[in-house]
Structures are given as structure tokens and as C-alpha cells.
């Protein structure tokens, strides 16, 4: 017997108005509130793989240790290599492994903050996952966003990734000691950054030898 | 690059709503993506189609609206679109973070950073 089938039901709209990126921004605002509550200055350090983010953090720590209580959140897909490197400076480090994600997000930072004795901290460095693209979409709640680019990546790194530079407060051009060998001009890289973001501070550096550290600290102005 | 994870979040949110409202079928999905985000409409479309397979959203039409950027200058109160750098080197129009009226770099981004699920059309 052929049953009588009810007609497809009513059609209607459900207004969701759910903004997925705004959700991250809201969490970032909460992180900022927590940090401000403890008077902690947080610096988000972004840049592609192998650009010298960890070396920069290590060197900054050696300059600032003793003056400030410092904590570090190290982000990577996997391993604790970076956290282990930084821990040698005698600093509290939390490693965040994102698994497959190409960036840190505000939710992961919120979780990581719980692992610190926040009352004892003055400064927090957040090393983002090595990537010049995705972290730009995910603010973490930091007070300052720093991008590290190096001459060994070639002359077009800045032009190829304009968005991340447009959001940076400070840009470090690293490995300037290798500029000649690489035939890359740090000045041209800096020009490219200024074209994209006229308000940014660009500092040439050698993060292993410690060149440029004082200028970077000055630019961070915490 | 993170289009998959954002698509997963979109699909999760939509399918959860569908379940809560006990809808039989999701007919269409309206998204709004800001031009200043790294979300690529073509990739989001592709992943959503994949993620919707064998769910009530299978076959749903996906509409993606581009939201143009809008800034407010903190200095001269200018509010409107950003000036675009038409540099052949970039191959794309790159929005310039400078007030087109007074040249200030102290700006507030009012629009262009959206990753919004505006609405879904469903049948019960």
C-alpha cells in the first residue's frame, strides 16, 4: 500500500549571527583583562619557521632577567624543543602543542595562562607557531604584536605576506650578519614593511649575537 | 590556511543548531567573510560541501558575502572605506592602513574582519 506522505514541512530562516573570528576576539579581550589585572605586559611574537623567534626571546630574556619576572608561552605543532631551549634561561615556560593547527588562538592562551603564577609575572612572551599567514587572523590578547623576518628567507618575504605586517607593532629583521652572503638588503625589507604599515617600528638585529636587542626593548616600551 | 578548522567550526555550529531546532534539512547557509581575514571563500565553500556530506546539511546552498573593510580615523573622525594600494607587485588590492583624509595611522577597523554565519534556511 502506498502511504500518504506528509509534505515537506515549513521552510524558515534561523538567524545565527555567530561570528567565529569575533569569538576569538572576545576571548582575546578576556585574556587582556586578566593580564591587565595582574599588570603583565604580553608580547606576541610571530614569524615564519626558522626565522629566529626563539633566539630572539632567549636573548631578550638574558637582557631583561633580574629586572622583570618573565614567563614564556611557546607554541608549536609538536615537541617541547623551544620550551626546553628557553627553560635553560631559568624562566617558566609553558609549551602549547597545537597538533595540526597553524596558529595559536586566544582559547589556548587562556588555558596556558592558568598554568602561571600570574601574580609573580611582569612580562609574558608568546611565541606563535612558525607561520606568516594564519596568526594574523587570531589576536591573543597581547599588548604588542611583533613579527620576526630574516634575510635568509630571501628578499620578498614582506611583500608576499602583507597582512601580518599590517598588524604588527614592531618588526625585527633578523640575521643581518648574513645579509651580504644572502644578497638580501635589510633596508629594502624595511622599506617594504613601511609601505604596508607606516606606523610600525622596524629594527635590524642579529638575535644570536645580541645585536639590536636594546632597540627592540626600547621599541616594545613596556 | 586555517580554512578547514574554521569550516569545521561553521559546520559544527550549524549542525548543532539544526539538531536543537529538530530541523529535517538545511537548505541554505549564508556566510559573511571580511576582506581583511585570511578566509578564502572558495576553500570555505569546498570544505563545507565536504563536511556537510551525510548530514542534514548535505546539498545545502552556500552563499558567501564579502564584507568590505571600513575604518574610523581616531584623529580626524573620518569613517569610510580604506584606500587601496594598487601595486602591481602585490597582484591584489591591498588595503592601506592610513587615513585617506588626514594620513594618520591611528585607525580603528570597523568592518572587514568578519567570519560570520548570518543565517541558515531550514525545513522541518
**What CATH number is associated with residue B119?**
3.30.2320.50
B75 with B64, same domain: the answer is: no
Cα B8 to Cα A2, B32, B48, B52, distances in angstroms: 40, 16, 8, 10
Please give the pLDDT value at position A17.
86
Q: Is residue A26 part of a domain?
A: yes
Domains: count for chain B: 2
CATH number of the domain to which A105 belongs: 3.40.50.300
Spans of chain A, pLDDT less than 50? none
Report pLDDT digits (tens) over A18-74: 888 888 999 999 999 999 999 999 999 999 999 999 999 999 999 999 999 999 999
Q: Is residue A167 part of a domain?
A: yes
B31 with B78, same domain: the answer is: no
Please report which confidence band the pLDDT of residue B93 belongs to, taking 50, 70 and 90 as the band edges. low
Comparing B3 with A172, the larger pLDDT belongs to A172
B60 with B115, same domain: the answer is: yes
Angle at B50 between CA A13 and CA B116, to 5 degrees: 45
Give the structural domain span for A175. Answer: 21-220
Give the structural domain span for B23. Answer: 3-69+111-123
B115 with B98, same domain: the answer is: no
Kindly tell me the burial class for residue B6, based on how many C-beta atoms sit within 10 Å of its own C-beta (0-12, 13-18, 19 or more): buried
Q: Is residue A173 part of a domain?
A: yes
Please give the pLDDT value at position B36.
85
Angle at A179 between CA A177 and CA A183, to 5 degrees: 155
Domains: count for chain A: 1
Alpha helices in A93-161 (DSSP H): 106-113, 157-160
B65 with B116, same domain: the answer is: yes
**B114 closest CB neighbour out of A21, A133, A199:** A21
Q: Is residue A10 part of a domain?
A: no
Cβ contacts of A60 within 8 Å, gap of 6 or more: A125, A213, A216, A217
Record the pTM.
0.82
Q: Is residue A142 part of a domain?
A: yes
Q: Is residue A106 part of a domain?
A: yes
**B13 closest CB neighbour out of A18, A101, A162:** A18
User: Cβ of B16 under 8 Å from any chain A Cβ?
Assistant: no
User: Cβ of B2 under 8 Å from any chain A Cβ?
Assistant: yes
Report pLDDT digits (tens) over B53-86: 999 999 999 999 999 989 999 999 999 988 776 6
Inter-chain contact B117–A16, Cβ cutoff 8 Å? yes
Q: Is residue A5 part of a domain?
A: no
A67: left (phi over 0), alpha (psi -120 to 50) or beta: alpha
Amino acid at each position: 500500500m502506498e502511504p500518504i506522505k506528509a509534505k515537506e514541512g515549513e521552510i524558515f530562516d534561523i538567524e545565527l549571527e555567530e561570528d567565529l573570528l569575533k569569538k576569538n576576539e572576545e576571548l582575546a579581550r578576556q585574556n587582556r583583562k586578566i593580564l591587565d589585572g595582574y599588570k603583565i605586559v604580553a608580547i606576541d611574537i610571530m614569524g615564519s619557521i626558522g626565522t629566529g623567534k626563539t633566539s630572539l626571546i632567549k636573548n631578550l630574556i638574558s637582557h631583561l632577567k633580574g629586572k622583570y619576572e618573565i614567563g614564556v608561552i611557546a607554541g608549536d605543532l609538536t615537541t617541547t624543543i623551544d620550551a626546553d631551549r628557553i627553560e635553560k634561561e631559568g624562566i617558566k615556560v609553558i609549551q602549547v602543542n597545537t597538533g595540526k593547527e597553524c596558529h595559536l588562538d586566544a582559547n589556548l592562551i587562556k588555558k596556558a595562562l592558568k598554568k602561571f603564577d600570574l601574580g609573580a609575572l611582569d612580562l609574558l612572551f608568546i611565541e606563535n607557531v612558525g607561520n606568516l599567514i594564519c596568526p594574523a587572523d587570531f589576536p591573543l590578547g597581547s599588548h604588542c604584536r611583533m613579527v620576526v623576518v630574516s634575510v635568509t628567507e630571501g628578499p620578498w618575504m614582506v611583500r608576499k605576506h602583507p597582512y601580518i605586517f599590517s598588524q604588527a607593532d614592531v618588526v625585527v629583521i633578523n640575521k643581518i650578519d648574513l645579509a651580504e652572503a644572502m644578497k638580501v638588503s635589510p633596508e629594502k625589507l624595511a622599506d617594504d614593511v613601511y609601505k604596508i604599515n607606516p606606523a610600525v617600528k622596524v629594527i635590524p638585529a642579529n638575535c644570536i649575537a645580541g645585536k639590536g636587542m636594546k632597540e627592540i626593548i626600547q621599541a616594545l616600551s613596556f | 590556511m586555517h580554512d578547514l578548522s574554521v569550516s569545521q567550526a561553521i559546520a559544527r555550529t550549524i549542525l548543532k543548531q539544526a539538531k536543537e531546532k529538530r530541523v529535517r534539512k538545511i537548505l541554505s547557509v549564508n556566510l559573511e567573510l571580511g576582506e581583511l581575514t585570511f578566509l578564502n571563500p572558495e576553500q570555505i565553500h569546498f570544505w563545507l560541501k565536504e563536511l556537510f556530506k551525510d548530514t542534514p546539511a548535505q546539498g545545502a546552498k552556500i552563499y558567501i558575502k564579502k564584507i568590505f573593510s571600513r575604518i574610523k580615523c581616531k584623529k580626524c573622525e573620518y569613517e569610510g572605506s580604506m584606500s587601496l594600494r594598487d601595486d602591481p607587485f602585490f597582484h591584489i588590492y591591498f588595503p592601506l592602513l592610513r587615513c585617506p583624509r588626514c594620513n594618520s595611522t591611528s585607525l580603528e577597523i570597523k568592518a572587514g574582519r568578519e567570519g560570520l554565519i548570518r543565517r541558515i534556511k531550514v525545513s522541518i
